């Protein structure tokens, strides 16, 4: 079985990113605004957290129907509070389950149920498993489908023509985007208070780490290389990668980005020698991570690389480093403990809060 797993793992990083982003958009003619009598009083923009979310058409409208912009530019009308939700995206599932009870997420992809890819696999055991077939999705009678811009247009068209609101968003490895995605999902689901509270929680945890690491001298920052090995191919994490963003937000210097590499390219061991990281992190499933770590430490070719020479080669939880959701903040917290042990000595970070069930 391990040989089979390794044969499948070369696409682990790409698959996680794709599955954290499988959608497409929904077009609909804008519905007339709700009658004034059915809407709460408008909140001042400065005090309204939803005012900062570009995808929300009218942040002061907390009644129904309400409108949002899909990532393809179309306007989507949400007619009433959705009780049956589908996302088809691991990252969107993780955001959704931070805001609503699990029973409102009526169906998920097999990847969301797979603990090797998903931070919420334990929460969706009872949900139906679906693929990308329109008739299977419609059989679940969803009120809304919230997913990424990578979902096939043909699927979006089929689902939207059946009267289902389909909202596309592009998940990014950017903190403000994470906050906006939480608020947008809360607005779509009619969970404004939970979304506001949770966005504040995530922001406070991220900001607490930044308060410690952002003013560290450049000379004090350790140079970090993120490497993985799948089917004898060596990958790194460069500029615009999720792992690279976590490295920088944890107060490290990303050596692959310094070398001009983008996203998650393959490299050779000579590149590791050139990069000369002080610390190496490995973000891949345990069955391959520990053997890879041992092979790095025993590799004579890279024995003079500072991280190898000092034994500073660490396994990190791939679920925190390769998803696209608020769980990336947990990755920042855990890596900060490695990079700044004197500042985070003995610090244990609790799980995120959960919505009332």
Per domain, the residue ranges of the chain are 21-170, 218-339
96: pLDDT strictly greater than 90:
yes
Q: What is the CATH number of domain 218-339?
A: 3.40.50.1980
**pLDDT tens readout for residues 9-63:** 444 444 444 444 443 333 333 333 333 333 444 434 458 999 999 999 999 999 9
- Model-level pTM? 0.87
Do 21-170 and 218-339 have matching folds? yes
36's tokens: 């004034």
List, for residues 237-293, the tens digit of each pLDDT value. 999 999 999 999 999 999 999 999 999 999 999 999 999 999 999 999 989 999 999
Q: Which of 64, 67, 42 is nearest to 56 (CA)?
A: 67
- Cα torsion 306, 312, 317, 322 to 10°: value is -10
Above 80 in pLDDT, residue 3?
no
Q: Is 179 exposed, middle or buried (0-12, 13-18, 19+ CB in 10 A)?
A: buried
Measured CA to CA in angstroms, residue 356 lies from 78, 96, 101, 269 at distances of 23, 13, 7, 49
Q: Where are the alpha helices (DSSP H) in 281-326?
A: 286-298, 306-310, 318-321
Average pLDDT, rounded, for the chain: 89
Q: Where are the alpha helices (DSSP H) in 106-254?
A: 134-139, 153-161, 175-189, 192-213, 242-249
Q: How far apart are the first and last CA of the chain?
A: 37
pLDDT at 357: 81
CATH superfamily assigned to domain 21-170: Nitrogenase molybdenum iron protein domain (3.40.50.1980)
Task: Give kind and range of the element (H or E) at residue 168.
Answer: strand 165-169
Query: Residues 108-116: contacts with CB within 8 Å, 24+ apart?
Result: 109/19, 109/22, 111/15, 111/19, 112/19, 116/285
Percent of the chain clearing pLDDT 90 (strictly above): 83
Residue 227 is inside which H or E element, if any? Answer: strand 223-230
Contact 109, 131 (CB under 8 A): yes
């Amino acid at each position: 079985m391990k040989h089979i797993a390794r044969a499948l793992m070369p696409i682990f990083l790409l698959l996680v990113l794709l599955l954290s982003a499988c959608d497409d958009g929904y077009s609909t003619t804008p519905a007339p605004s709700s009658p004034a009598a059915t809407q709460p009083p408008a909140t001042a923009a400065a005090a309204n957290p939803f005012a900062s979310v570009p995808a929300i058409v009218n942040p002061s409208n907390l009644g129904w129907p309400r409108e949002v912009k899909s990532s393809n530019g179309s306007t989507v009308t949400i007619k009433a509070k959705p009780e049956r939700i589908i996302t088809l995206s691991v990252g969107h599932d993780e955001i959704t389950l931070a805001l609503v009870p699990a029973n409102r997420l009526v169906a998920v992809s097999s990847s969301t149920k797979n603990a090797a890819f998903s931070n919420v696999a334990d929460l969706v055991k009872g949900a139906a498993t679906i693929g990308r077939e329109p008739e299977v999705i419609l059989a679940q009678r969803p009120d809304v489908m919230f997913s990424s811009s990578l979902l096939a247009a043909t699927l979006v068209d089929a689902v939207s023509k059946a009267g289902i609101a389909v909202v596309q968003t592009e998940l990014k490895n950017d903190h403000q985007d994470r906050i906006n995605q939480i608020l947008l999902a809360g607005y779509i689901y009619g969970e404004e208070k939970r979304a506001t509270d949770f966005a504040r929680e995530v922001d406070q945890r991220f900001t607490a780490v930044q308060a410690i690491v952002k003013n560290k001298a450049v000379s004090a920052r350790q140079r970090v290389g993120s490497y993985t090995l799948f089917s004898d191919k060596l990958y790194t994490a460069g500029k615009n990668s999720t792992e690279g963003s976590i490295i920088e937000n944890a107060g490290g210097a990303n050596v692959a980005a310094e070398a001009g590499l983008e996203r998650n390219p393959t490299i050779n061991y000579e590149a590791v020698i050139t990069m000369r990281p002080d610390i190496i992190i490995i973000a891949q499933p345990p069955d391959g991570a520990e053997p890879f770590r041992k092979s790095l430490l025993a590799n004579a070719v890279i024995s003079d690389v500072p991280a190898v020479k000092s034994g500073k080669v660490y396994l990190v939880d791939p679920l925190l480093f390769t998803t696209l959701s608020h769980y990336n903040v947990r990755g920042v917290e855990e890596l900060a403990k490695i990079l700044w042990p004197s500042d985070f000595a003995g610090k244990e970070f609790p799980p995120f809060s959960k919505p009332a069930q």
